Amino acid sequence: MKTLVRHGVISAALLIATSQAQELSLTADKAVLSGPIKLTNGCLCQPLTTSMANGGRALFAFNITNAGSYVVRVTVNAQNAQPHSIGINIDAEPKEPEMIWDVGATSGFEPQLVAWRGNGTTTTTQSKPQVFALSQGTHQLFVREMDPNTQVQRLSLLQLPAPPTGLHIVVGQ
């Protein structure tokens, strides 16, 4: 749970929801690669610093059977204090700077939820985490690496449960 709250406070309801979510897992070897990004030892990584437009691209195709709200969890190795920025979006190329995910430093591979920078900064993101509304059917996950030595091992789409319905307020005595 420590890694899920790295960039700020996330509500207990979201932590519970992601732990109970349905998961669609995408391994690094399933991506179509272009640019300087490479698949090495089952991980995506690029050897140099680039802009998002010139960065390596990993494209994942996937199918959603249940429409709903989804978050993306990435198992990432981002050691040391250098910047670890990844552009990430579903069904379109990510836009800079709002769709950049500033990955917090890790000590080995750790799962983290994608949070877009948005109108925030490299240390204070706007979104915690980014929630995608996905329809049933085929989609594409775009990953644009921008910094060297950031290893991506696995990406998972987690469907968040629907909010409860039929709740009533009961006034206490």
CATH class of the domain defined by 2-6+28-159: mainly beta
- CA–CA separation, 60 vs 26, rounded Å? 7
Each residue of 67-88: pLDDT tens digit? 999 999 999 999 887 789 999 9
Task: Calculate mean pLDDT across residues 94-119.
Answer: 92
Q: How far apart are CA 109 and CA 93, in angstroms?
A: 25
Please state, in angstroms and as integers, the Cα–Cα distance from residue 106 to each residue in 18, 111, 120, 143, 150, following that order.
20, 9, 21, 19, 10
pLDDT tens string 5-23: 343 334 434 444 444 557 9
Domain range list for the chain: 2-6+28-159
At residue 112, does pLDDT exceed 90?
yes
